Amino acid sequence: MARVHVSVLGAGAWGTALAALASARADVLLWARAPEVADAIGRARRNPRHLSDIELPSALRATADLDAALDHVLDAPGPGLIVLGVPMAGLADICAQLASALPAQRDRPLHLLWTCKGIDPDTLQLPHQIIAGHLPRRPWLHAGVLSGPSFAREVAQGLPVALTLAAGDPGTGTVCQAAYHGVQARIYTTPDIVGVEVGGALKNVMAIACGISDGLRLGTNARAALITRGLAEIQRLGIALGGQADTFSGLAGLGDLVLTATGGLSRNRQVGVAVGEGRRLEDILAGGMTAEGVRCARAALELGSRHALDLPITEIVCRVLFDGLAPREAVAALLTREPRPE
């Protein structure tokens, strides 16, 4: 396969890390919304806003011109890959921009990946549904989701990582592997877009629950129980929405859950720890802490209700975050539920 041309749209921590990772194997251009960020990456090899202490590869180029970023893949002599490195809150906007910027017709395929994790709190949509609603279908544009256990900082530092690429077209997996699969990264493929997305969304809610438990100093037994029963909830909702059961025992399910629920770099776990230690959610978020699980929890509970599913950990997290239930009372509420077979 010819050298892949990659345009990563979004210079946040994860977009920057994915651009740095691909630059070892592909021709990469990173789009930053702010011109000063693109300039600093090109001049000083640093992103001044995210992962600013990590030197970026010399092969990585950056631009603040979205048209230039798209031309980089549209005009490539070989395979082209667009990676959306934006959070859930920015997904609809970037897709609307792509809808007006991409050509209506093209004689070669182009591949699109998204990396955000969550459920839209207003529409209850998963990322692929948001993309379908804001980016009209083009037969030559093949899309998929890249997910799995990964902290942006470790990827940018060059540490090993394994990820899952879910796409309907096998060619998207081939192109993604050509750009990313190598010594540092392993890319596994699956057709299960829904399962991968549900795993990526709900693991953040479960990480908040584990953080609350850790903030209360309830021990590793309690954390292991929350991870195990949390995985059961994730699988329950994922299957109801059309996901495949096996997905949840893989990287995008169990793997991502374990990392996010136990890793020190997990913002969702950090929010949970702070709540468990007695801090108010409003104060935590006002301090600049962001966690997708906070946005996702209510939406996940509502989706579960629509499918008549029992999601007790998700429900308790919502009651603690939004209804004023004391964390220790939440633990008691979970422990005193009616006994049942596993």
The tens digit of pLDDT for each residue in 247-306 reads: 999 999 999 999 999 999 999 999 999 999 999 999 999 987 778 999 999 999 999 999
Q: Which of 144, 163, 191 is the last residue of a domain?
A: 191
User: Can you give the pLDDT at residue 288?
Assistant: 78
Domain membership flag for residue 92: yes
The residue-averaged pLDDT of 3-19 equals 98
How many domains would you assign to the chain?
Answer: 2
Task: Identify which of 264, 265, 314, 310 has the alpha carbon closest to the alpha carbon of residue 119.
Answer: 314
Domain containing 116 equals 5-191
Q: What is the pLDDT of residues 190-204, one digit of tens each?
A: 999 999 999 999 999
Residue type, 2: A
Supply the pLDDT for residue 80: 98
Per-residue pLDDT reduced to its tens digit, 62-82: 999 999 999 999 999 999 999
340 within domain boundaries: no
Cα separation, 147 vs 150, in Å, equals: 8
**CATH number of the domain enclosing 247:** 1.10.1040.10
DSSP string across 108-143: S-EEEEE------TTT---HHHHHHHHS---TTEEE
Do residue 280 and residue 331 come from a single domain? yes
Q: Is residue 166 part of a domain?
A: yes
Average pLDDT of 14-29?
Answer: 98
Report yes or no on 341 lying in a domain: no
Q: pLDDT of 93-140, one tens digit each?
A: 999 999 999 999 999 999 999 999 999 999 999 999 999 999 999 999
Q: Confidence band (pLDDT; 50, 70, 90) for 338?
A: confident
Same domain assignment for residues 27 and 114: yes
Same domain for 148 and 57: yes
Residues 123 and 165 in one domain: yes
Whether 247 and 192 have beta carbons less than 8 Å apart is answered as: yes
Question: In what side-by-side order are the strands of the sheet with 27-31?
Answer: 61-63, 27-31, 5-9, 80-84, 110-114, 141-147, 161-167, 185-190
Read off the pLDDT of residues 131-189 as tens digits, 9 standing for 90 and up.
999 999 999 999 999 999 999 999 999 999 999 999 999 999 999 999 999 989 999 99
pLDDT for 335: 82
What integer pLDDT is reported at residue 1 of this predicted model? Answer: 81
Beta bridge partners of 186: 162
Tokens of 257: 């859950």
Neighbours of 325 (CB within 10 A): 15
pLDDT computed for residue 287 by the predictor? 80
Asked whether 91 and 127 are in contact (CB, 8 A), the reply is: yes
**What average pLDDT score do residues 46-55 get?**
97
Instruction: Give the N- to C-terminal CA distance of the chain in Å, as an integer.
Output: 48
Look at residue 284 in the predicted model and tell me its pLDDT: 94
Last residue of a domain, one of 191, 212, 247: 191
Give the pLDDT of residue 92: 97
- Chain mean pLDDT for the chain: 96
- Average pLDDT of the residues in 211-236: 97
Which among 287, 175, 314, 133 is positioned nearest to 233, based on CA atoms? Answer: 314
241 pLDDT exceeds 90? Answer: yes
Question: Could you tell me if 252 and 187 are in contact, meaning their C-beta atoms sit under 8 angstroms apart?
Answer: no
CATH number of the domain to which 109 belongs: 3.40.50.720
Asked if residue 198 and residue 163 are part of one domain, the reply reads no
Tell me how many degrees the CA angle 15-17-18 measures, rounded to the nearest 5. 65
Choose one of 133, 163, 191: the last residue of a domain.
191
Structural domain contains residue 141:
yes
Q: Tell me what pLDDT residue 341 has.
A: 82
One domain, residues 244 and 172: no
Q: Do residues 168 and 28 share a domain?
A: yes
Query: Is residue 16 domain-shared with residue 28, that is, in the same domain?
Result: yes
Q: Is residue 53 part of a domain?
A: yes
Cβ neighbours of 283 (radius 10 Å):
10
The catalytic residues are 203
Residues 134, 249, single domain; the answer is no
Q: Do residues 34 and 119 share a domain?
A: yes
207 in the same domain as 105: no
**Same domain for 203 and 177:** no
